[in-house]
Amino acid sequence: MKTFSKVGACLIAFSVVVVIVYQDIALNSISRSAKSSTVGNKEESCLSRSQLVLYRKSSPHKPSSYLITKLRRYEELHKRCGPHTKSYNRSIKQLVSGQIDNSTDCRYVVWVAFCGLGNRILSITSAFLYALLTNRVLLINQEQDMGGLFCEPFPDTSWILPEDFLFKSEINSFEQNYNYSYGYMLKSNIINYSTELLPSYMFLYLSHDYDHHDKLFFCDQDQALLSKVPWLIMKSNVYFLPSLFLISSFEQELSKLFPDKETVFHHLGRYLFQPSNLVWRLITQYYQDYLAKAEKRIGIQIRVFDAETSPFEYVMDQILACTQTEKLLPEVDTEKTIAAQSENQTSKAVLITSLFPGYFEKLKNMYGEHPTKTGETVAVYQPSHEEEQQSYNNSHNIQAWVEMNLLSFSDELVTSAWSTFGYVAQGLGGMRPWILYKINQTKPDPLCGQGMSMEPCYHAPPVYDCKAKTTVDTATLVPHVRHCEDIRWGIKLFNSSS
């Protein structure tokens, strides 16, 4: 079954990596109308765009005015070059002919969906920053499983790849060895850096299991070549954005856009991903029903990748030890019991997200049966337990998106190492989470620790020095790109001073 094997590939993603290693308000403040992608052509305003500020803590991190200006200019470009405009139609002609001509100045990055929603949100954000840096227009190949999740981010246009796009029916099956793949063409000597007649499109394979030639994408020389190709089709399931900060031709622009390196996903994520009206109703309903009354909201995102190496009891002990020693949750007095809890007194609400109900049940029973030593009352909630990740199921993705948003409303957040789901929640919320370090048969020491940057981790970074043509630890080249707290071979952005 097609779907099944695709899911397999994503789950394998994480173990393969091991082997290989070797809006903010301000962004939306210039008011603009926006359609919701949920309801076909019918224009409907995007409720979350104006209402998110009522739920999410406002960000103490202000975007640079340079970023805001850049986004406004991008919006104009997207409107001019977006689907079915005159310029787009002319660009499509180039795509069909395979030849580059000078009939339009619009260039594109087409992003192809792949893996779980967290991976997708992170790779879309990476593709968007790449588009900003290279003056391209980002179009996303939205399969049905992703439909109805987000509002259209750019005013008076669409970022959805049209149904009549030339490769629409086959684009999802483009793989690493596709004959227009950049890495493949280099490896097979079909092109080289002096080739003059380049095709009008190329495929970029930027997924966890890419090879040396695919990764040359991150070299200046290759960027110079790629800049001549009007259509780039990109398949990625990773947050490759940190490596853009190591390409010297982007350096100056990036430092103007993001003086604060820790907030790249925070700003771009809030800007790009506004819940659709359908999703927004689910989010606000749940919030009002369970979380609104609490004085403090604690989000705990639990993701167990391998139940054999991370047994339930170990994870449960880790959660309890971490939340209590870090004073996120109070201890209970197991000598005493309480009869009934008044919902009105709830001082802390715990929101658990997990594929399984066990952790929730245990915490809920604990706080339901025993009084806390601090006198606080703690209510525990879990919106769903889907048992198995189904990355290619629309209702599963809607639920995941609801829960990422609910987590982002937390006052304190606890996340699981390696999880892109947690990265999205922390970035949208603007929080440095408490990370439950990975359990691999033995308990990690320490059990958890606070992240030093709220940026997501790039799980499969290249380890190549383009100039010296040797292997290099890319976490050692500039002060703001270093190894992640949760994956030792991953890289992420930090504030230089942090």
**Nearer to ligand NAG (CB atom), residue 457 or residue 493:** 457
What is the closest distance, in whole angstroms, from the C-beta atom of residue 118 to ligand NAG in the complex? 17
What is the closest distance, in whole angstroms, from the C-beta atom of residue 280 to ligand NAG in the complex? 20
**Nearer to ligand NAG (CB atom), residue 18 or residue 292:** 18
What is the closest distance, in whole angstroms, from the C-beta atom of residue 134 to ligand NAG in the complex? 21
Applying CB under 6 A, which residues contact ligand NAG? 18, 84-86, 89, 102, 179, 192, 194-195, 342, 344, 386, 390, 393, 395-396, 440
**Nearer to ligand NAG (CB atom), residue 50 or residue 176:** 176
Q: CA triplet 489, 493, 495: central angle to 5 degrees?
A: 130
What is the closest distance, in whole angstroms, from the C-beta atom of residue 271 to ligand NAG in the complex? 27
**Nearer to ligand NAG (CB atom), residue 403 or residue 412:** 403
**Nearer to ligand NAG (CB atom), residue 78 or residue 396:** 396
| Residue given tokens 């640079």 in the structure block | 64
**Nearer to ligand NAG (CB atom), residue 13 or residue 283:** 13
**Nearer to ligand NAG (CB atom), residue 128 or residue 182:** 182
What is the closest distance, in whole angstroms, from the C-beta atom of residue 340 to ligand NAG in the complex? 9
**Nearer to ligand NAG (CB atom), residue 59 or residue 104:** 104
What is the closest distance, in whole angstroms, from the C-beta atom of residue 203 to ligand NAG in the complex? 11
CA distances from 379 to 88, 132, 290, 348, 366 (A): 53, 44, 9, 6, 10
What is the closest distance, in whole angstroms, from the C-beta atom of residue 212 to ligand NAG in the complex? 17
What is the closest distance, in whole angstroms, from the C-beta atom of residue 105 to ligand NAG in the complex? 9
What is the closest distance, in whole angstroms, from the C-beta atom of residue 472 to ligand NAG in the complex? 23
CA neighbor of 398 nearest in space, from 221, 166, 146? 146
**Nearer to ligand NAG (CB atom), residue 12 or residue 30:** 12
What is the closest distance, in whole angstroms, from the C-beta atom of residue 166 to ligand NAG in the complex? 11
**Nearer to ligand NAG (CB atom), residue 107 or residue 267:** 107
Decide: 26 and 270 in contact? Cβ < 8 Å.
Answer: no
